[in-house]
Amino acid sequence: MKTFFIVISIVAVVGLPFLFQRSEKTIGDTEDVVVVITPHNEAIRFEFETAFRNWYTERTGRTVDVDWRVIGGTSEIVRYISSEYENSFRNYWTGDLGRKWTSEARQGYSDRKLELEENPQEEDESQQARRAFLDSDISVGIDIFFGGGSYDFGRQAAIGSLVPWRDEAELRERFPDDLFPQTFAGEVFWDDQGRWIGAVLSSFGIIYNRNSLLGLGIDEMPVTWADLADPRLIGQVALADPTKSGSITKAFEMIVQDCMGIQVARLISEGLTTEEAEAKGVPLGWMDAMEMIQLISANARYFTDSATKGPMDVASGDSAVGMSIDFYGRYQSEIIISRGGGDRLHYVTPAGASTLSADPIGLLRGAPNPEVADLFMEFVLSEAGQRLWGYRVGVENGPIEYALRRSPAFRSLYEGESRKSLSEPEVNPYEEVGDFVYRPDWTGRLFTPLRFLIRVAFIDPHEELVAAWEGIQEAEKRGDSEAAAKAKKIFSNLEAIDYMQATGPISEVLGGGDKIDEVRLARTIADGFREQYREALRVSKGSR
């Protein structure tokens, strides 16, 4: 009998997972397919695939499958797409066109800043390669790029990896301002050439664990970006690596925009004209932001590759606070409440210090399934697709298993009966922005330098950064204010990454396309800050 029960137990352990597993489908058992590369999570993929399959069958009478390609975050996707298009174009250039693959052809085909001549006969090899790429229908075997930041989509559109889905006239008819404006509070929500269109909206803010903060002796809950620089939060701030996430880079950009706005407003109040205030205030605001980001980074427990890890760690109490995309923060807060954990977890958008940005979708050049891809875009950008982002599970036309808790792009869903079906009917992102206006002319060209500089100045030398910051706090605690002040002066010297450097030499190297120069620059800056932080630590201890 003992042997019998052992055998039964083994059978149960091995067999139960198979008994309860969800039935699997195989790509290829349907009549049509669309290939989509995305950073979106499993819940989003499940809801959109399920709804699209039903919608497609009703529309066409045919069955369809979504072949998802999930390789990481937006930055990883962009690198993959760029590599694949280069390989495809090289084959086209050398094979179909019979041309030699040179450095001019390689650099020219994707150079979004390269201007073409009116007469093609007058073009050099770089321009010829660029024209050949833009006139081609080369493919990377993928139809749709779905999800990520508008900055990365804009770059891919300018390169030519993304192609128009609809022309401007049809887009303006489809998306009138009272439904889905092209621009809002300084942000662009869809490309007027139709190469990318915002599918859902995002804002950025702070997620915090009230119990954890109280345990640290912090009674006032964070409401501004500057609150994350509180030295009591050393080792307690959850951050994502902006070089791995375009969305998190956008959150850091909000800090820069906020600091610039404060300086410009101050200078205007002192009597300067708007033009004079911007010329002086933007560089000052950049430095204020670098100082704040440095301190926030010094408080960071880590810089994760995953933008979802931070909110989960704050929810579990492993970190007290973190920077977060709005829907990650609200989703984690709802999970805690639903599991009986009370209201310890909160998400807040800093008032007047965060923008509303679009999370786009776009059609890739040479899409292998263009008709199906067209209908996938049609679905995502229809009211049927928009409802999936914000509706509660179980309501009519809503998601069937997962409440996605994202902010739909269509304003109509925040009105009347539709609003009652939302998971969070009290949230209207169009109203939450307040008087904040995003100024792309201030920071748009600094997006790439920003993520680069955060990495080389604060992430690569993070161990030394934290040690120096802790040393300064220790000096203040023991009453050695002189050592603390001297160390802080060394610690906060950011001349190597000031506004002139960021917009000048650093931007030139990053935009030059020479990876060797970029690696050399990264090493130089990182090593410089690493030694600077070590010196600050030595001084904080009362020695040099």
Question: Could you write out the DSSP letters of every residue in 74-90?
Answer: HHHHHHHHHHHHHHHHH
pLDDT of residue 27: 53
> How much is the mean pLDDT over the chain?
90
Q: pLDDT tens for residues 314-337?
A: 988 999 999 988 877 777 777 776
pLDDT-derived band at 3 (thresholds 50, 70, 90) equals low
pLDDT of residue 9: 53
Under 8 Å between Cβ of 486 and 539:
yes
pLDDT-derived band at 436 (thresholds 50, 70, 90) equals confident
Point out the least confidently predicted range of 175-189, 348-362, 467-481.
348-362
pLDDT of residue 341: 67
> Mean pLDDT over residues 341-370, rounded?
87
Least Cα distance to 529 among 518, 519, 541, 537 occurs for 537
pLDDT-derived band at 2 (thresholds 50, 70, 90) equals low
Has residue 374 got a pLDDT over 70?
yes
Helix, strand, coil percentages (3-state) for the chain, rounded to 5, are 55, 10, 30
| Residue 145 parent element (H or E) | strand 144-146
Backbone angles phi, psi at 358, to 5 degrees: -95, 145
Structure tokens at 415: 């009105």
Point out the least confidently predicted range of 7-11, 74-78, 188-192.
7-11
Point out the least confidently predicted range of 15-19, 71-75, 213-217, 383-387.
15-19
Question: Could you write out the DSSP letters of every residue in 409-461?
Answer: S-GGGGSHHHHHTBSSTT--HHHHTTT----HHHHGGGHHHHHHHHIIIIITT
> Mean pLDDT over residues 96-115, rounded?
95
Has residue 155 got a pLDDT over 90?
yes
Has residue 5 got a pLDDT over 60?
no
Pseudo-torsion of CA 91, 115, 246, 147, nearest 10°?
Answer: -60
DSSP E strand stretches across 229-356: 237-240, 300-304, 321-325, 345-348
> Mean pLDDT over residues 404-427, rounded?
91
pLDDT of residue 431: 84
Residues of the chain with CATH 3.40.190.10: 204-354+438-444
Percent of the chain with pLDDT over 70: 93
Residue 299 to residue 153: CA distance in whole angstroms: 32
pLDDT-derived band at 437 (thresholds 50, 70, 90) equals confident
> Mean pLDDT over residues 533-540, rounded?
97
Q: pLDDT tens for residues 240-288?
A: 998 887 778 888 998 999 999 999 999 999 999 999 999 999 999 999 9
Q: pLDDT tens for residues 494-503?
A: 999 999 999 9
Has residue 408 got a pLDDT over 50?
yes
Which residue did the predictor score with more confidence, 13 or 99?
99
Has residue 354 got a pLDDT over 90?
no
pLDDT of residue 45: 96
CATH number of 74-201+358-431: 3.40.190
Has residue 18 got a pLDDT over 70?
no
Has residue 381 got a pLDDT over 90?
yes
> Mean pLDDT over residues 524-529, rounded?
97
Least Cα distance to 329 among 354, 352, 308, 299 occurs for 308
Has residue 131 got a pLDDT over 80?
yes
Under 8 Å between Cβ of 536 and 471:
yes
Looking at domain 204-354+438-444, what is its CATH homologous superfamily? Answer: Periplasmic binding protein-like II (3.40.190.10)
Residue 452 to residue 450: CA distance in whole angstroms: 5
Has residue 7 got a pLDDT over 80?
no
> Mean pLDDT over residues 218-229, rounded?
93
